[in-house]
Structure 1
Amino acid sequence: MKISQEMATQLDTAKKNMKTAADGTQGFHRMVQSRTHQLQQNEMQKLLADISEQGDRLSKFRSFRDLAKFKQMVKRFLKEAIGNGYDLQKSYGFSMSGHAGNLTTVKKSG
C-alpha cells in the first residue's frame, strides 16, 4: 500500500513539473512573438516615413532618379507587408470557358 502511495505522489509531482515547463515555454513563445511583432511594426513605420519623405522630395524635384528610388521603396514596403502578414500562393487553373491561366491567391497568415 505504501509503494502505491509513493508512486501516485511521484506521478503527481511529475505531472506538475511537466505543466510548469509547458507554461514556461508558452510564456517565452508569447514574449518572443510579441517582441517580433513590435519590431516588425517599427520597421514598417520607418519604411512609411521614408516613403513619405521620398515622395515629398519627388514632388519638389521630379527627377527620374527620385522616381526610381520612390518606386523601389514602395516595392520593399509591399514585400515586407506581404512577407509578414500574408501568404502568397500561385497556381495554374482553367476558367469556365476553358482558358488556362496563372492564379495568385493572397491569404492572411496566422
Structure 2
Amino acid sequence: MKISQDLKTQLDTSKANANKTNGTTMSFQQTVSQEKQKMHEAQLNRLLGDLSAQGEKVAKFRSFKDLARYKRMVQQFMEEAVQYGLELDQQRSWSMNGDNRKLMLVKQVDEKLIQLTDDVLDQQKSSIDVLDVIGEIKGLLLNLQA
C-alpha cells in the first residue's frame, strides 16, 4: 500500500493548524485570566466602598447592629483579599521574633477592630475618635490590598 502525496500534505496542514490553535488557546487563557483579575479588583473595590459607608454609619449611630455588620464586612474583605486579590509572593520578610509581615498586618486589623468596639461601647468617645479608628482600619485594608 502506497501513501499518496495528497494524503501527506493533508497531514502536514492539520499539524500546522493544531499549532496555531494551541497558540490561540494560550492567548485566550491569558485574556480570561486578565478579565478574572479585573473582576476580583472590582469586587474588592466595591467591598471597600461598602465598608466605608458602613463605617460612617457606625460612627454616626453607634449601634451594635451596625458594628457587628462592619466587623463581618471587614472579615469578608480580608477573606476576599487573601483568597483572590493578593498574589502571594515567595519572598518573606521576617521580624526578629520570626513573625511574618502579613500576619502582623492581620493582627493590627484585629487590634483596631477591638479598639473600635471599645470606642463604640464608651459613650464618652466622640464620633471623631471612632472615625479615626475606622480610617486606620481602612488604611490597613488598603495596604493589605496593595
After TM superposition, give the deviation of residue 4 of structure 1 in Å.
8.4
After TM superposition, give the deviation of residue 47 of structure 1 in Å.
0.1
The answer for the alignment partner of 2:56 in structure 1 is 56
Listed as ranges, the gaps of 5+ residues in structure 1 are 88-105
The answer for the alignment partner of 2:81 in structure 1 is 81
Distance in 2 of aligned mates of 1:16 and 1:28: 19
Deviations 1:11-40 (A, max 9, x none): 542331121110111121111111111111
Question: Which aligned segments of 4 or more residues in structure 1 are displaced greater than 3 angstroms?
Answer: 3-12
Distance in 2 of aligned mates of 1:74 and 1:83: 14
Deviations 1:72-95 (A, max 9, x none): 0000111111111367xxxxxxxx
Listed as ranges, the gaps of 5+ residues in structure 2 are 89-102, 104-146
* Length-normalised TM-score, structure 2: 0.51
The answer for the alignment partner of 1:68 in structure 2 is 68
The answer for the alignment partner of 2:112 in structure 1 is none
Decide whether aligned partners of structure 1 residues 49 and 61 sit closer, same or farther in structure 2, where only a CA change above 3 A counts: same
Indicate the structure with greater strand content: 1
- More relative contact order, 1 or 2 (CA 8 Å, 6+ apart): 2
Distance in 2 of aligned mates of 1:71 and 1:8: 68
User: Sequence identity, in percent?
Assistant: 38
Any residues of structure 2 matched to 1:13-32 within 5 Å, and which? 13-32=13-32
Distance in 2 of aligned mates of 1:86 and 1:37: 10
- State how many pairs are aligned: 87
Pairing 1:44–2:44 present: yes
Deviations 1:35-87 (A, max 9, x none): 11111111110000000111111111111111100000000111111111367
Distance in 1 of aligned mates of 2:87 and 2:44: 14
| More divergent stretch after superposition (45-54 vs 27-36) | 27-36
